[in-house]
Structure 1
Protein backbone atom coordinates (compact mmCIF):
# COMPACT_ATOMS: atom_id res chain seq x y z
CA UNK A 1 0.00 0.00 0.00
CA UNK A 2 1.34 3.41 -0.91
CA UNK A 3 1.72 6.12 1.72
CA UNK A 4 1.08 9.82 1.19
CA UNK A 5 4.86 10.49 0.88
CA UNK A 6 5.29 8.01 -1.99
CA UNK A 7 2.14 9.37 -3.63
CA UNK A 8 3.71 12.82 -3.42
CA UNK A 9 6.78 11.65 -5.31
CA UNK A 10 4.58 10.03 -7.97
CA UNK A 11 2.55 13.23 -8.25
CA UNK A 12 5.69 15.18 -9.18
CA UNK A 13 6.69 12.53 -11.71
CA UNK A 14 3.30 12.51 -13.42
CA UNK A 15 2.38 16.20 -13.23
CA UNK A 16 4.27 17.00 -16.40
CA UNK A 17 3.70 20.72 -16.94
CA UNK A 18 4.29 23.15 -14.09
CA UNK A 19 2.40 26.44 -14.33
CA UNK A 20 3.44 29.65 -12.55
CA UNK A 21 -0.02 30.08 -11.01
CA UNK A 22 -3.60 28.96 -11.18
CA UNK A 23 -5.39 29.91 -14.42
CA UNK A 24 -8.60 31.91 -14.29
CA UNK A 25 -11.50 29.46 -14.58
CA UNK A 26 -14.08 31.89 -15.92
CA UNK A 27 -12.45 32.68 -19.28
CA UNK A 28 -11.63 29.01 -19.89
CA UNK A 29 -15.21 27.94 -19.33
CA UNK A 30 -16.73 30.81 -21.25
CA UNK A 31 -14.46 30.15 -24.22
CA UNK A 32 -15.44 26.48 -24.26
CA UNK A 33 -19.11 27.26 -23.74
CA UNK A 34 -19.31 29.47 -26.83
CA UNK A 35 -17.39 27.00 -28.94
CA UNK A 36 -14.05 28.81 -29.16
CA UNK A 37 -11.98 26.12 -27.42
CA UNK A 38 -9.83 24.31 -29.97
CA UNK A 39 -11.48 21.17 -31.31
CA UNK A 40 -8.37 19.71 -32.88
CA UNK A 41 -4.69 20.10 -32.14
CA UNK A 42 -1.52 18.51 -33.45
CA UNK A 43 -1.21 16.19 -30.44
CA UNK A 44 -4.87 15.32 -30.18
CA UNK A 45 -6.09 11.74 -30.59
CA UNK A 46 -9.76 10.83 -30.09
CA UNK A 47 -8.84 7.61 -28.26
CA UNK A 48 -6.11 8.85 -25.93
CA UNK A 49 -5.96 11.19 -22.94
CA UNK A 50 -2.97 13.54 -22.63
CA UNK A 51 -0.15 11.85 -20.74
CA UNK A 52 1.06 15.02 -19.02
CA UNK A 53 -0.81 16.57 -16.15
CA UNK A 54 -0.59 20.07 -14.69
CA UNK A 55 1.01 21.29 -11.46
CA UNK A 56 1.00 24.55 -9.51
CA UNK A 57 3.11 24.92 -6.39
CA UNK A 58 2.61 27.03 -3.29
CA UNK A 59 -1.08 27.88 -3.65
CA UNK A 60 -2.12 30.01 -0.68
CA UNK A 61 -5.65 29.81 0.70
CA UNK A 62 -7.53 33.12 0.67
CA UNK A 63 -9.39 33.13 3.99
CA UNK A 64 -12.10 35.45 2.66
CA UNK A 65 -12.75 33.04 -0.19
CA UNK A 66 -12.70 30.09 2.24
CA UNK A 67 -15.28 31.84 4.44
CA UNK A 68 -17.50 32.56 1.43
CA UNK A 69 -17.29 28.90 0.39
CA UNK A 70 -18.13 27.77 3.93
CA UNK A 71 -21.24 29.95 3.96
CA UNK A 72 -22.49 28.78 0.56
CA UNK A 73 -22.05 25.10 1.44
CA UNK A 74 -23.09 25.19 5.09
CA UNK A 75 -19.73 24.53 6.78
CA UNK A 76 -18.73 26.21 10.02
CA UNK A 77 -16.28 29.07 9.61
CA UNK A 78 -12.88 27.66 10.56
CA UNK A 79 -9.25 27.53 9.47
CA UNK A 80 -9.50 23.81 8.76
CA UNK A 81 -10.29 23.25 5.08
CA UNK A 82 -13.60 21.45 4.39
CA UNK A 83 -13.04 18.11 2.63
CA UNK A 84 -14.44 19.45 -0.65
CA UNK A 85 -12.52 22.75 -0.67
CA UNK A 86 -9.32 21.49 -2.36
CA UNK A 87 -11.53 20.36 -5.27
CA UNK A 88 -12.48 24.02 -5.77
CA UNK A 89 -8.84 25.13 -5.53
CA UNK A 90 -7.80 22.58 -8.16
CA UNK A 91 -10.80 23.11 -10.45
CA UNK A 92 -9.12 25.74 -12.68
CA UNK A 93 -6.28 23.28 -13.34
CA UNK A 94 -8.75 20.54 -14.25
CA UNK A 95 -10.59 22.97 -16.51
CA UNK A 96 -7.35 23.97 -18.23
CA UNK A 97 -6.49 20.30 -18.78
CA UNK A 98 -9.91 19.38 -20.20
CA UNK A 99 -10.07 22.41 -22.51
CA UNK A 100 -6.61 21.85 -23.99
CA UNK A 101 -6.03 21.16 -27.71
CA UNK A 102 -4.78 17.62 -27.00
CA UNK A 103 -7.83 16.59 -24.96
CA UNK A 104 -9.90 14.00 -26.88
CA UNK A 105 -13.37 15.11 -25.75
CA UNK A 106 -15.02 18.54 -25.89
CA UNK A 107 -15.51 20.17 -22.51
CA UNK A 108 -19.08 21.24 -23.23
CA UNK A 109 -21.43 18.33 -22.64
CA UNK A 110 -19.30 16.41 -20.13
CA UNK A 111 -21.39 15.10 -17.21
CA UNK A 112 -19.88 14.80 -13.73
CA UNK A 113 -21.20 11.40 -12.63
CA UNK A 114 -19.09 10.53 -9.57
CA UNK A 115 -16.53 11.95 -7.16
CA UNK A 116 -14.28 10.30 -4.59
CA UNK A 117 -12.36 12.30 -2.00
CA UNK A 118 -9.70 11.05 0.40
CA UNK A 119 -8.55 13.29 3.23
CA UNK A 120 -5.31 12.00 4.75
CA UNK A 121 -5.28 14.52 7.59
CA UNK A 122 -6.64 17.88 8.65
CA UNK A 123 -5.40 20.66 6.37
CA UNK A 124 -5.05 24.17 7.78
CA UNK A 125 -5.67 27.31 5.76
CA UNK A 126 -2.16 28.53 6.63
CA UNK A 127 -0.50 25.66 4.70
CA UNK A 128 0.51 26.43 1.08
CA UNK A 129 -0.56 23.62 -1.22
CA UNK A 130 0.96 22.08 -4.31
CA UNK A 131 -1.93 21.14 -6.61
CA UNK A 132 -1.66 18.62 -9.43
CA UNK A 133 -4.21 17.20 -11.88
CA UNK A 134 -4.08 14.49 -14.51
CA UNK A 135 -6.64 12.65 -16.65
CA UNK A 136 -6.64 8.84 -16.63
CA UNK A 137 -8.54 5.75 -17.75
CA UNK A 138 -10.53 6.72 -20.83
CA UNK A 139 -12.97 3.81 -21.11
CA UNK A 140 -16.24 2.80 -22.77
CA UNK A 141 -19.57 3.22 -21.04
CA UNK A 142 -22.99 1.99 -22.10
CA UNK A 143 -23.94 5.63 -22.83
CA UNK A 144 -20.64 6.75 -24.35
CA UNK A 145 -17.18 7.15 -22.83
CA UNK A 146 -15.96 8.17 -19.40
CA UNK A 147 -12.66 9.06 -17.75
CA UNK A 148 -11.27 10.21 -14.41
CA UNK A 149 -9.58 13.45 -13.42
CA UNK A 150 -7.27 12.85 -10.45
CA UNK A 151 -6.43 15.89 -8.32
CA UNK A 152 -3.94 15.90 -5.45
CA UNK A 153 -3.05 18.51 -2.85
CA UNK A 154 0.33 18.23 -1.15
CA UNK A 155 2.24 20.00 1.61
CA UNK A 156 5.86 19.52 0.69
CA UNK A 157 6.31 15.85 -0.20
CA UNK A 158 3.19 14.77 1.71
CA UNK A 159 -0.10 14.25 -0.11
CA UNK A 160 -2.79 15.50 2.27
CA UNK A 161 -5.83 15.23 -0.03
CA UNK A 162 -6.86 13.45 -3.21
CA UNK A 163 -9.97 13.76 -5.36
CA UNK A 164 -11.09 11.62 -8.29
CA UNK A 165 -13.86 13.01 -10.51
CA UNK A 166 -15.48 10.77 -13.11
CA UNK A 167 -16.89 12.43 -16.22
CA UNK A 168 -19.14 10.94 -18.87
CA UNK A 169 -19.35 11.99 -22.50
CA UNK A 170 -22.68 10.82 -23.89
CA UNK A 171 -22.31 9.29 -27.34
CA UNK A 172 -24.21 6.91 -29.56
CA UNK A 173 -23.17 3.35 -28.71
CA UNK A 174 -24.08 -0.12 -29.88
CA UNK A 175 -24.77 -1.24 -26.31
CA UNK A 176 -28.51 -0.69 -26.45
CA UNK A 177 -30.49 -2.29 -23.70
CA UNK A 178 -27.59 -2.11 -21.26
CA UNK A 179 -29.04 0.78 -19.28
CA UNK A 180 -30.50 0.08 -15.90
CA UNK A 181 -34.23 -0.03 -15.44
CA UNK A 182 -35.16 2.85 -13.15
CA UNK A 183 -38.05 0.75 -11.89
CA UNK A 184 -35.53 -1.40 -10.04
CA UNK A 185 -34.51 1.56 -7.89
CA UNK A 186 -34.38 0.71 -4.14
CA UNK A 187 -36.73 2.52 -1.79
CA UNK A 188 -35.46 5.86 -0.51
CA UNK A 189 -34.40 5.83 3.17
CA UNK A 190 -36.27 7.80 5.80
CA UNK A 191 -35.07 11.41 5.73
CA UNK A 192 -32.87 12.75 8.49
CA UNK A 193 -33.52 16.35 7.40
CA UNK A 194 -35.23 18.34 4.65
CA UNK A 195 -33.52 21.27 2.97
CA UNK A 196 -34.95 24.06 0.89
CA UNK A 197 -32.47 24.82 -1.91
CA UNK A 198 -33.01 28.36 -3.23
CA UNK A 199 -32.42 29.37 -6.83
CA UNK A 200 -29.45 31.53 -5.82
CA UNK A 201 -27.42 28.42 -4.87
CA UNK A 202 -26.43 27.99 -8.52
CA UNK A 203 -25.08 31.55 -8.78
CA UNK A 204 -23.51 31.54 -5.33
CA UNK A 205 -21.67 28.27 -5.85
CA UNK A 206 -20.52 29.34 -9.32
CA UNK A 207 -19.02 32.45 -7.75
CA UNK A 208 -17.01 30.59 -5.08
CA UNK A 209 -16.11 27.54 -7.16
CA UNK A 210 -15.28 29.07 -10.54
CA UNK A 211 -17.63 26.57 -12.21
CA UNK A 212 -19.67 28.92 -14.39
CA UNK A 213 -21.44 26.29 -16.46
CA UNK A 214 -24.65 28.15 -17.38
CA UNK A 215 -26.88 25.11 -16.74
CA UNK A 216 -26.52 26.08 -13.07
CA UNK A 217 -27.38 29.75 -13.46
CA UNK A 218 -29.51 30.25 -16.59
CA UNK A 219 -32.97 28.88 -17.30
CA UNK A 220 -32.39 29.25 -21.05
CA UNK A 221 -29.11 27.34 -20.96
CA UNK A 222 -30.59 24.66 -18.72
CA UNK A 223 -33.43 24.11 -21.21
CA UNK A 224 -30.94 23.80 -24.07
CA UNK A 225 -29.46 20.82 -22.23
CA UNK A 226 -32.82 19.26 -21.38
CA UNK A 227 -33.44 20.63 -17.88
CA UNK A 228 -36.64 22.59 -17.16
CA UNK A 229 -34.83 24.79 -14.62
CA UNK A 230 -31.23 25.45 -13.59
CA UNK A 231 -29.69 22.65 -11.54
CA UNK A 232 -27.43 22.66 -8.50
CA UNK A 233 -23.78 21.76 -8.93
CA UNK A 234 -23.13 18.16 -7.91
CA UNK A 235 -20.16 19.21 -5.79
CA UNK A 236 -22.35 21.69 -3.92
CA UNK A 237 -24.70 18.81 -3.07
CA UNK A 238 -21.79 16.70 -1.85
CA UNK A 239 -20.37 19.57 0.19
CA UNK A 240 -23.77 20.35 1.75
CA UNK A 241 -24.13 16.73 2.85
CA UNK A 242 -20.66 16.65 4.39
CA UNK A 243 -21.37 19.95 6.14
CA UNK A 244 -24.39 18.27 7.76
CA UNK A 245 -22.03 15.59 9.09
CA UNK A 246 -19.42 18.06 10.35
CA UNK A 247 -18.07 17.04 13.73
CA UNK A 248 -18.94 13.38 13.15
CA UNK A 249 -16.32 12.58 10.54
CA UNK A 250 -12.90 11.10 11.33
CA UNK A 251 -9.74 13.06 10.56
CA UNK A 252 -8.78 10.70 7.71
CA UNK A 253 -11.31 8.93 5.48
CA UNK A 254 -12.56 8.36 1.94
CA UNK A 255 -16.00 9.50 0.80
CA UNK A 256 -17.34 8.17 -2.50
CA UNK A 257 -20.36 9.81 -4.17
CA UNK A 258 -22.40 8.85 -7.23
CA UNK A 259 -24.45 11.68 -8.75
CA UNK A 260 -27.75 10.08 -9.76
CA UNK A 261 -30.05 12.93 -10.83
CA UNK A 262 -29.86 16.74 -10.73
CA UNK A 263 -31.39 18.96 -8.05
CA UNK A 264 -33.63 21.51 -9.78
CA UNK A 265 -33.47 25.08 -8.51
CA UNK A 266 -35.33 26.09 -6.48
CA UNK A 267 -36.26 22.81 -4.84
CA UNK A 268 -36.61 20.80 -1.66
CA UNK A 269 -34.47 17.73 -1.00
CA UNK A 270 -34.39 15.07 1.68
CA UNK A 271 -31.09 14.22 3.36
CA UNK A 272 -30.59 10.84 4.95
CA UNK A 273 -27.61 9.48 6.86
CA UNK A 274 -27.01 6.02 8.29
CA UNK A 275 -24.64 5.76 11.28
CA UNK A 276 -21.07 5.78 10.10
CA UNK A 277 -21.28 4.47 6.54
CA UNK A 278 -23.74 5.98 4.05
CA UNK A 279 -25.64 9.15 3.26
CA UNK A 280 -27.67 10.53 0.39
CA UNK A 281 -30.09 13.06 -1.06
CA UNK A 282 -33.39 12.25 -2.72
CA UNK A 283 -36.43 14.03 -4.14
CA UNK A 284 -39.26 14.35 -1.64
CA UNK A 285 -42.06 13.82 -4.13
CA UNK A 286 -40.67 11.15 -6.46
CA UNK A 287 -38.21 9.53 -4.00
CA UNK A 288 -35.70 9.58 -6.84
CA UNK A 289 -32.09 9.73 -5.55
CA UNK A 290 -29.99 12.78 -6.30
CA UNK A 291 -26.81 11.31 -4.87
CA UNK A 292 -25.70 8.27 -2.90
CA UNK A 293 -22.52 8.13 -0.87
CA UNK A 294 -20.38 5.81 1.23
CA UNK A 295 -17.84 6.67 3.89
CA UNK A 296 -14.89 4.40 4.57
CA UNK A 297 -11.25 4.17 5.55
CA UNK A 298 -8.50 5.92 3.64
CA UNK A 299 -8.10 4.59 0.12
CA UNK A 300 -4.76 4.93 -1.62
CA UNK A 301 -5.23 6.13 -5.22
Structure 2
Protein backbone atom coordinates (compact mmCIF):
# COMPACT_ATOMS: atom_id res chain seq x y z
CA UNK A 1 0.00 0.00 0.00
CA UNK A 2 1.46 3.35 -1.09
CA UNK A 3 0.50 6.46 0.86
CA UNK A 4 0.82 9.78 -0.94
CA UNK A 5 0.61 12.97 1.10
CA UNK A 6 -0.90 15.95 -0.73
CA UNK A 7 0.30 19.34 0.45
CA UNK A 8 -2.60 21.23 -1.12
CA UNK A 9 -6.03 20.59 -2.59
CA UNK A 10 -5.82 18.93 -6.02
CA UNK A 11 -6.71 21.21 -8.93
CA UNK A 12 -9.90 19.86 -10.49
CA UNK A 13 -9.55 22.23 -13.44
CA UNK A 14 -6.48 20.19 -14.39
CA UNK A 15 -7.88 16.80 -13.41
CA UNK A 16 -11.12 16.97 -15.40
CA UNK A 17 -9.39 17.22 -18.82
CA UNK A 18 -7.21 14.33 -17.68
CA UNK A 19 -10.39 12.41 -16.79
CA UNK A 20 -11.87 13.13 -20.22
CA UNK A 21 -8.72 11.79 -21.87
CA UNK A 22 -8.82 8.64 -19.74
CA UNK A 23 -12.33 8.04 -21.02
CA UNK A 24 -10.89 7.73 -24.52
CA UNK A 25 -7.83 5.66 -23.64
CA UNK A 26 -9.17 3.21 -21.05
CA UNK A 27 -11.53 0.43 -22.01
CA UNK A 28 -12.72 -0.02 -18.45
CA UNK A 29 -12.62 -3.81 -18.46
CA UNK A 30 -11.60 -3.62 -14.85
CA UNK A 31 -8.36 -4.95 -13.47
CA UNK A 32 -7.38 -4.83 -9.82
CA UNK A 33 -8.05 -1.68 -7.84
CA UNK A 34 -4.95 0.30 -6.83
CA UNK A 35 -3.86 0.20 -3.20
CA UNK A 36 -2.85 3.88 -3.21
CA UNK A 37 -3.99 6.02 -0.27
CA UNK A 38 -4.09 9.80 -0.64
CA UNK A 39 -3.90 11.96 2.48
CA UNK A 40 -3.99 15.63 3.47
CA UNK A 41 -3.13 16.84 6.95
CA UNK A 42 -4.34 19.75 9.06
CA UNK A 43 -7.00 20.93 6.61
CA UNK A 44 -8.75 24.06 7.89
CA UNK A 45 -12.33 24.80 6.91
CA UNK A 46 -12.73 27.99 4.88
CA UNK A 47 -15.57 29.93 6.55
CA UNK A 48 -16.69 31.64 3.35
CA UNK A 49 -16.70 28.36 1.42
CA UNK A 50 -18.73 26.65 4.13
CA UNK A 51 -21.25 29.50 4.10
CA UNK A 52 -21.56 29.27 0.31
CA UNK A 53 -22.10 25.51 0.54
CA UNK A 54 -24.74 26.00 3.25
CA UNK A 55 -26.64 28.48 1.09
CA UNK A 56 -26.64 26.30 -2.03
CA UNK A 57 -27.86 23.24 -0.07
CA UNK A 58 -30.13 25.33 2.23
CA UNK A 59 -28.47 24.45 5.53
CA UNK A 60 -28.44 26.94 8.37
CA UNK A 61 -25.37 29.11 8.76
CA UNK A 62 -23.73 27.73 11.92
CA UNK A 63 -20.26 26.65 13.08
CA UNK A 64 -21.27 22.99 12.74
CA UNK A 65 -20.43 21.27 9.47
CA UNK A 66 -23.27 19.54 7.63
CA UNK A 67 -22.51 15.83 7.52
CA UNK A 68 -22.18 16.07 3.72
CA UNK A 69 -19.71 18.98 3.74
CA UNK A 70 -16.46 16.99 4.20
CA UNK A 71 -17.38 15.11 1.02
CA UNK A 72 -16.51 18.23 -1.00
CA UNK A 73 -13.11 18.32 0.75
CA UNK A 74 -12.29 14.70 -0.10
CA UNK A 75 -13.82 14.76 -3.60
CA UNK A 76 -10.73 16.26 -5.33
CA UNK A 77 -8.65 13.53 -3.70
CA UNK A 78 -11.07 10.92 -5.08
CA UNK A 79 -10.71 12.38 -8.57
CA UNK A 80 -6.92 12.32 -8.21
CA UNK A 81 -7.05 8.61 -7.42
CA UNK A 82 -9.52 7.86 -10.21
CA UNK A 83 -7.38 9.64 -12.82
CA UNK A 84 -4.15 7.88 -11.87
CA UNK A 85 -2.75 5.68 -14.60
CA UNK A 86 -3.29 2.45 -12.64
CA UNK A 87 -6.99 3.04 -11.98
CA UNK A 88 -8.86 0.39 -13.98
CA UNK A 89 -11.91 2.46 -14.97
CA UNK A 90 -12.30 5.87 -16.58
CA UNK A 91 -13.94 8.50 -14.41
CA UNK A 92 -16.16 9.61 -17.28
CA UNK A 93 -19.11 7.23 -17.41
CA UNK A 94 -18.70 5.89 -13.87
CA UNK A 95 -22.09 6.42 -12.21
CA UNK A 96 -22.47 7.42 -8.56
CA UNK A 97 -25.25 5.09 -7.40
CA UNK A 98 -25.09 5.22 -3.59
CA UNK A 99 -23.49 7.09 -0.72
CA UNK A 100 -23.18 6.30 2.98
CA UNK A 101 -21.78 8.74 5.54
CA UNK A 102 -21.18 8.13 9.25
CA UNK A 103 -20.18 10.73 11.81
CA UNK A 104 -19.36 9.83 15.40
CA UNK A 105 -19.74 13.42 16.55
CA UNK A 106 -20.50 16.76 14.92
CA UNK A 107 -17.59 18.42 13.17
CA UNK A 108 -16.97 22.10 13.88
CA UNK A 109 -15.58 24.84 11.68
CA UNK A 110 -12.66 25.13 14.12
CA UNK A 111 -11.60 21.48 13.67
CA UNK A 112 -8.41 20.78 11.75
CA UNK A 113 -9.08 17.75 9.59
CA UNK A 114 -6.74 14.98 8.50
CA UNK A 115 -8.23 13.56 5.30
CA UNK A 116 -7.67 10.14 3.75
CA UNK A 117 -9.05 8.56 0.55
CA UNK A 118 -8.73 5.06 -0.90
CA UNK A 119 -10.73 2.66 -3.08
CA UNK A 120 -11.90 -0.86 -2.23
CA UNK A 121 -14.46 -3.62 -2.73
CA UNK A 122 -14.46 -4.23 -6.47
CA UNK A 123 -17.39 -6.52 -7.16
CA UNK A 124 -19.65 -7.79 -9.91
CA UNK A 125 -22.94 -6.13 -10.75
CA UNK A 126 -25.57 -7.32 -13.24
CA UNK A 127 -24.76 -4.30 -15.40
CA UNK A 128 -20.99 -4.23 -14.92
CA UNK A 129 -18.71 -3.60 -11.94
CA UNK A 130 -19.07 -1.67 -8.70
CA UNK A 131 -16.42 -0.21 -6.42
CA UNK A 132 -16.34 1.99 -3.32
CA UNK A 133 -14.43 5.25 -2.94
CA UNK A 134 -13.83 5.69 0.79
CA UNK A 135 -13.05 9.00 2.46
CA UNK A 136 -12.19 9.61 6.12
CA UNK A 137 -11.77 12.70 8.27
CA UNK A 138 -9.84 12.49 11.55
CA UNK A 139 -9.41 15.02 14.33
CA UNK A 140 -6.39 14.60 16.62
CA UNK A 141 -5.94 10.99 15.50
CA UNK A 142 -9.59 9.95 15.87
CA UNK A 143 -11.67 9.03 12.80
CA UNK A 144 -14.89 11.00 13.26
CA UNK A 145 -16.32 10.93 9.73
CA UNK A 146 -16.43 8.22 7.05
CA UNK A 147 -17.86 8.48 3.54
CA UNK A 148 -18.43 5.55 1.16
CA UNK A 149 -19.39 6.47 -2.40
CA UNK A 150 -20.40 3.50 -4.55
CA UNK A 151 -19.81 3.78 -8.29
CA UNK A 152 -21.10 1.59 -11.10
CA UNK A 153 -19.12 1.08 -14.28
CA UNK A 154 -21.49 -0.33 -16.88
CA UNK A 155 -20.40 -3.04 -19.28
CA UNK A 156 -19.34 -6.65 -19.04
CA UNK A 157 -21.97 -7.64 -16.49
CA UNK A 158 -24.16 -10.71 -16.48
CA UNK A 159 -27.06 -8.80 -17.98
CA UNK A 160 -29.40 -10.27 -15.38
CA UNK A 161 -32.28 -7.95 -14.57
CA UNK A 162 -32.31 -6.33 -11.17
CA UNK A 163 -35.30 -6.63 -8.90
CA UNK A 164 -37.39 -3.48 -9.27
CA UNK A 165 -40.23 -3.32 -6.82
CA UNK A 166 -42.70 -0.65 -7.90
CA UNK A 167 -44.08 1.42 -5.06
CA UNK A 168 -46.52 4.25 -4.95
CA UNK A 169 -44.79 7.46 -3.91
CA UNK A 170 -45.64 8.66 -0.40
CA UNK A 171 -47.63 11.77 0.31
CA UNK A 172 -45.08 14.61 0.21
CA UNK A 173 -44.45 16.60 3.34
CA UNK A 174 -42.89 19.32 1.19
CA UNK A 175 -42.55 20.26 -2.47
CA UNK A 176 -39.54 22.07 -3.88
CA UNK A 177 -38.79 23.75 -7.16
CA UNK A 178 -35.26 22.91 -8.23
CA UNK A 179 -33.90 25.71 -10.44
CA UNK A 180 -32.21 25.02 -13.74
CA UNK A 181 -28.91 26.51 -12.55
CA UNK A 182 -28.53 24.39 -9.40
CA UNK A 183 -25.96 22.18 -11.15
CA UNK A 184 -23.72 25.18 -11.88
CA UNK A 185 -24.22 26.63 -8.40
CA UNK A 186 -23.37 23.34 -6.68
CA UNK A 187 -20.40 22.88 -9.02
CA UNK A 188 -19.01 26.21 -7.81
CA UNK A 189 -18.89 25.05 -4.18
CA UNK A 190 -18.12 21.36 -4.74
CA UNK A 191 -15.68 21.55 -7.63
CA UNK A 192 -17.67 18.79 -9.37
CA UNK A 193 -17.95 20.32 -12.85
CA UNK A 194 -19.05 17.19 -14.65
CA UNK A 195 -20.66 18.51 -17.87
CA UNK A 196 -23.86 16.53 -17.27
CA UNK A 197 -24.67 18.97 -14.45
CA UNK A 198 -23.74 22.28 -16.05
CA UNK A 199 -25.79 22.95 -19.18
CA UNK A 200 -28.44 21.22 -21.34
CA UNK A 201 -26.12 21.19 -24.36
CA UNK A 202 -23.21 19.49 -22.55
CA UNK A 203 -25.60 17.07 -20.82
CA UNK A 204 -27.01 16.01 -24.21
CA UNK A 205 -23.52 14.93 -25.28
CA UNK A 206 -23.78 12.23 -22.58
CA UNK A 207 -27.32 11.12 -23.39
CA UNK A 208 -29.37 13.28 -21.02
CA UNK A 209 -32.20 15.46 -22.35
CA UNK A 210 -31.11 18.30 -20.09
CA UNK A 211 -28.71 19.00 -17.23
CA UNK A 212 -29.21 16.91 -14.08
CA UNK A 213 -28.74 17.76 -10.41
CA UNK A 214 -25.73 16.36 -8.55
CA UNK A 215 -26.65 13.35 -6.44
CA UNK A 216 -24.76 14.77 -3.46
CA UNK A 217 -26.74 18.01 -3.74
CA UNK A 218 -30.01 16.05 -3.55
CA UNK A 219 -28.73 14.20 -0.48
CA UNK A 220 -27.63 17.40 1.21
CA UNK A 221 -30.93 19.15 0.38
CA UNK A 222 -32.89 16.29 1.99
CA UNK A 223 -30.77 16.49 5.14
CA UNK A 224 -31.22 20.26 5.27
CA UNK A 225 -34.97 19.64 5.42
CA UNK A 226 -34.42 17.53 8.56
CA UNK A 227 -31.96 19.91 10.21
CA UNK A 228 -32.56 20.31 13.93
CA UNK A 229 -34.16 16.86 14.18
CA UNK A 230 -31.08 14.72 13.61
CA UNK A 231 -28.91 13.02 16.26
CA UNK A 232 -25.36 14.22 16.82
CA UNK A 233 -23.90 10.84 15.79
CA UNK A 234 -25.56 8.95 12.94
CA UNK A 235 -25.26 7.19 9.60
CA UNK A 236 -27.13 8.43 6.54
CA UNK A 237 -27.31 5.96 3.67
CA UNK A 238 -28.85 6.85 0.31
CA UNK A 239 -29.41 5.20 -3.03
CA UNK A 240 -29.57 7.47 -6.04
CA UNK A 241 -32.41 6.41 -8.30
CA UNK A 242 -33.51 8.35 -11.38
CA UNK A 243 -31.73 11.65 -12.06
CA UNK A 244 -33.40 15.01 -11.34
CA UNK A 245 -33.80 16.64 -14.76
CA UNK A 246 -33.43 20.41 -14.41
CA UNK A 247 -35.45 22.46 -13.78
CA UNK A 248 -37.73 20.25 -11.70
CA UNK A 249 -40.47 20.13 -9.13
CA UNK A 250 -39.84 17.41 -6.55
CA UNK A 251 -41.67 15.98 -3.58
CA UNK A 252 -39.97 15.21 -0.27
CA UNK A 253 -41.32 12.82 2.37
CA UNK A 254 -39.80 11.69 5.67
CA UNK A 255 -41.00 9.48 8.50
CA UNK A 256 -39.45 8.49 11.81
CA UNK A 257 -38.26 4.90 12.14
CA UNK A 258 -37.32 4.79 15.81
CA UNK A 259 -35.11 6.68 18.22
CA UNK A 260 -33.22 9.13 16.05
CA UNK A 261 -33.99 7.20 12.86
CA UNK A 262 -35.62 8.39 9.65
CA UNK A 263 -36.62 7.11 6.25
CA UNK A 264 -36.81 9.80 3.56
CA UNK A 265 -37.55 9.94 -0.14
CA UNK A 266 -37.22 12.47 -2.93
CA UNK A 267 -39.34 11.95 -6.03
CA UNK A 268 -40.79 13.62 -9.10
CA UNK A 269 -43.75 15.68 -7.87
CA UNK A 270 -45.81 15.05 -11.00
CA UNK A 271 -45.00 11.46 -12.00
CA UNK A 272 -43.90 10.06 -8.64
CA UNK A 273 -40.70 8.57 -10.07
CA UNK A 274 -38.02 8.10 -7.38
CA UNK A 275 -34.86 10.20 -7.20
CA UNK A 276 -33.40 9.42 -3.74
CA UNK A 277 -34.21 6.78 -1.12
CA UNK A 278 -32.46 7.27 2.20
CA UNK A 279 -32.25 6.06 5.79
CA UNK A 280 -30.83 7.68 8.90
CA UNK A 281 -29.71 5.49 11.80
CA UNK A 282 -28.62 6.91 15.13
Q: How high is the TM-score relative to the length of structure 2?
A: 0.94
Structure 2 SS opposite 1:90: helix
How many Å apart are 1:179 and its aligned residue? 2.7
Question: Is 1:286 aligned to 2:271, yes or no?
Answer: yes
Match of 2:8 in 1: 21
How many Å apart are 1:56 and its aligned residue? 0.5
1, 14, 37: which one aligns with 1:53: 37
Match of 1:93 in 2: 77
CA distance in 2, matches of 1:24, 1:147: 24
How many Å apart are 1:37 and its aligned residue? 7.3
Query: Does the 8 A contact of 1:15 with 1:133 survive in 2?
Result: no
CA distance in 2, matches of 1:270, 1:97: 36
Structure 1 SS opposite 2:227: coil
Query: Does the 8 A contact of 1:148 with 1:165 survive in 2?
Result: yes
Query: Does the 8 A contact of 1:206 with 1:212 survive in 2?
Result: yes
CA distance in 1, matches of 2:2, 2:162: 36
- Structure 2 segments unaligned to the other structure (5+ residues): none
Query: Does the 8 A contact of 2:74 with 2:117 survive in 1?
Result: yes
Check 1:15–1:296 CA distance in 2 against 1; reply closer, same or farther (3 A cut): farther
Deviation string for 1:205-231 (max 9, x for gaps)?
A: 000000000100121221122211100
Match of 2:161 in 1: 178
Match of 1:213 in 2: 194
100, 103, 109: which one aligns with 1:119: 103
- Structure 1 segments unaligned to the other structure (5+ residues): 1-13
Deviation string for 1:97-132 (max 9, x for gaps)?
A: 011101000110010000000011011111110110
RMSD value, Cα: 1.7
Match of 1:107 in 2: 91
243, 246, 267: which one aligns with 1:265: 246
Check 1:143–1:46 CA distance in 2 against 1; reply closer, same or farther (3 A cut): closer
How many Å apart are 1:45 and its aligned residue? 9.2
Deviation string for 1:236-281 (max 9, x for gaps)?
A: 0000000000000000000000000100110000000002320010
Match of 2:209 in 1: 228
How many Å apart are 1:178 and its aligned residue? 2.2
Aligned length: 277
Query: Does the 8 A contact of 1:231 with 1:265 survive in 2?
Result: yes
Query: Does the 8 A contact of 1:230 with 1:264 survive in 2?
Result: yes
Query: Does the 8 A contact of 2:22 with 2:83 survive in 1?
Result: no
CA distance in 1, matches of 2:227, 2:204: 35
Structure 2 SS opposite 1:100: coil
How many Å apart are 1:66 and its aligned residue? 0.3
CA distance in 2, matches of 1:261, 1:45: 25
CA distance in 2, matches of 1:37, 1:56: 27
How many Å apart are 1:46 and its aligned residue? 3.5
CA distance in 1, matches of 2:150, 2:143: 20
Q: Relative to total residues, which structure has the larger strand share, 1 or 2? A: 2
CA distance in 1, matches of 2:84, 2:123: 19
Query: Does the 8 A contact of 1:88 with 1:210 survive in 2?
Result: yes
Q: Which runs of 4+ in 1 moved over 2 A?
A: 36-40, 175-181
